[in-house]
Amino acid sequence: MKPKSLEDARLFASMVATKQGWVLNPDADFREIIVQGLCDNFNRYGYFFCPCRDSDGSREVDKDSICPCVWTKADLPEYGHCYCGLYLSRGFAAAGLPPASIPDRRYGS
């Protein structure tokens, strides 16, 4: 499989945000760390596994946490951002608040 570049991962994150109607975290340094993690995970596992979680190395087991993970459907309405803080809801972004630590629904914590 062709490796992804950091630019590929940036484009991926941007396209996800546009498609879903979300906003990318405006903190460029923070965003770059998460995007780098997505890039690394793609090149390691072959899919954009969430950079804030531990992979099982199997697409079948990991599929709930392939970006954009299934938990965003609950996390964005409730907390205003995804677990990693890469994607923000429009309302949360407009409020100008930084994402905070939120529970990881994958592990029910």
Q: Which range touches ligand SF4 (CB under 6 A), out of 3-11, 23-31, 60-68, 95-103?
A: 60-68
88 is an interface residue for ligand SF4 by CB under 6 A: no
93 contributes a contact to ligand SF4 by CB under 6 A: no
Per the CB < 8 A criterion, the answer to whether 16 and 87 are in contact is yes
Is residue 41 a contact point for ligand SF4 (CB under 6 A)?
no
Q: State the alpha helices, DSSP H only, in the chain.
A: 6-20, 28-45, 59-62, 72-79, 90-95
Judged by CB under 6 A, the stretch of 2-10, 25-33, 61-69, 93-101 that binds ligand SF4 is 61-69
Tell me: does residue 65 bind ligand SF4 (CB under 6 A).
yes
**Nearest CA-CA partner of 66 in 84, 88, 78, 92:** 84
- Please name which of 16, 102, 104, 108 lies closest in space to residue 53, comparing C-alpha atoms: 104
Q: Does 92 bind ligand SF4 (CB under 6 A)?
A: no
Contact pick of 24, 69, 88, 89 for ligand SF4 (by CB under 6 A) = 69
